[in-house]
Structure 1
Amino acid sequence: MTQSRTIPNALTIAGSDPSGGAGIQADLKTFSALGVYGTSVITALTAQNTRGVSGVHPIPSGFIDTQLATLLDDVTIDAVKIGMVASRDVAETIRASLERCRPRWIVLDPVMVAKSGDVLVDDAGIAAVRDLLVPLADVVTPNLPEAAVLLDRLTPHSRTAMEALAAPLRDLGAGATLLKGGHLPGRECPDLLITAGDAIWLEGSRVDTANLHGTGCTLSSAIAARLAHGDALPDAVTTAKAWLEAALTASSRLDVGQGQGPVHHFHAWW
């Protein structure tokens, strides 16, 4: 008799981070911490540490396609998290693969703007993410600068301005959008969950820490993990947000690098 599978499988499609705080490494740590078996397809190799990125080596789209085809031919994937996609070829490859073997949930973290404010993706890459991957996603998780880039607008600096983006973000075609308010001034850190019929504020407190490396990667993969477990979308987002806040609070227990350190993915275990 075949034993039923009780631990869900998740897939991260993203670049690597040798320092372990962001990208593929952060996603796999998050999956493991939240009780999900993690798989990965690497889109780029990077040379980076807690102080910055010194080099990027993109993986050819043909080999990304081979990675995806080989994995999806064998492993049942319950949720996918997509990270930074820097070219149209890669976006087309990812979309075609996921359309052939559609998982229940797709979470897109549109990594396009560095914390310094620098735009990381050229106009063609931005258009590819917006036109090809956003409509494919069940939930997209932009921060305020990334939402501004997607919509070709100014970055919002208030809750009212965030709410004004709800309709144009819906028009991009994703099932839902989690508009992250971490760039707003003040002690609060509110996010706005925009669905087809509603916009819900999710409150949060700003954690006083410099260890912010990989927070976007970690939150999106936490949402994917909770969705893989069967949570409804609002519950998955709420649980992931609370878990990340705890990981930020515990980040001072780590001593990683001389720059912006990572969150503590295993704060509940170590």
Structure 2
Amino acid sequence: MDNKQLVRCVRLRDGASGALDLTTMLPLQDRASVSIYLVNGSATTRVHTFDVEDLLRNGRQPKIVVSAEVETDLKVTLEVDGEPVARAEIAIPPDARRLRWLPWLLAALALLAIGLVGALAWWWLVRGTAVGDTDADRSLHGMIGSVTYQGRLEPRGERSGAEYALVEVGQRWVLYFQPESAELLPEAREIVDQVGGQVRVGVTELLIEGHTALYGNEPARQALSLNRSMAAAEYLKRLLEDGPEAGTPEIVTTGLSGSRPITRDQATQWRNRRVEIIVTGVATRP
């Protein structure tokens, strides 16, 4: 069975680094293929593929992580259950810099499953259900089910060098949601309104992370977390487009399901149903 999803790992900037936690989606999976791509708009170029086998040697579903760092070349490492199993050093094509590609490194996890025919019909990672914390079996909208999916809202244009941010890298705002919902509450809209006023000038990039409670169907929670981040991103983008012309930061959205909980207490799962808006890039002063 072939299941693919492209997720950005790192930008082609000297000194940049990144990592992706690629969660497998099928039981009894014994093999996986992870491909590395450079992406420029709608054009993709595959530059390397890792093939790993014997994933069930520890008797449980493996955790696969791909990490990358950019120096003169692109250095990529594949880990299974915390152990490096393969490395590659990839020459960055000259055109990637000269033509100013939107330099995304993406990993496509092609899942090759073996096992019972009946088991292959299920896409499962179920952690159990707690009362009031199913968090969205109804929110699946064509998700393929990787731990992280990232999308991009196009920036409006180049910034003037005189425009400097009012906030710093790492500044974040938190929005909360009702169970099983990706709809922005009035309180959340007020916060995003404030964000729009602070990031309009000098901010070059924002990361919007969606999160869910800890319990329920994993693929559904993954989809819900992405839907939450996209709802916040779309509302913010409309604010920026309707306001004074000062440029729109690049907005990256990601759905993290319950992988980064604030709390594990069932009584306070509302704190996990959230979106975090994070400043990840600002204009550099000369």
Superposition TM-score, scaled by structure 1 size: 0.31
Question: Would you tell me which structure has more helix in proportion to its own residues?
Answer: 1
Question: Would you tell me which structure has more strand in proportion to its own residues?
Answer: 2
Mark the structure with the bigger radius of gyration: 2
Superposition TM-score, scaled by structure 2 size: 0.30
